[in-house]
């Protein structure tokens, strides 16, 4: 079975420390920022069925 692009990226997720460094934001703000982004995506009707 072939693995789709989403799964390929999910195999090697970045740590919160890596994300913090890449985005120049505190590690403690990553979780809340991620939650807000996912909430906005869930509220978008075109994307709701994908999440």
Residue 5: per-residue pLDDT:
57
Q: Can you tell me the distance from the alpha carbon of 45 to that of 27, in angstroms, rounded to the nearest whole number?
A: 30
Report the candidate in 3, 4, 7, 23 with the shortest Cα–Cα distance to residue 15. Answer: 23
Residuewise pLDDT in 10s, the chain (51 residues): 455 555 555 667 899 999 999 999 999 999 999 999 988 888 888 776 776
Six token digits for residue 42: 């869930």
Domain ranges of the chain: 5-48
């Amino acid at each position: 079975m072939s693995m789709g692009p989403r799964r390929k990226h999910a195999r090697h997720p970045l740590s919160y420390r890596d994300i913090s460094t890449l985005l120049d934001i505190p590690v403690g703000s990553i979780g809340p920022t991620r939650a807000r982004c996912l909430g906005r995506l869930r509220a978008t009707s075109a994307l709701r069925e994908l999440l």
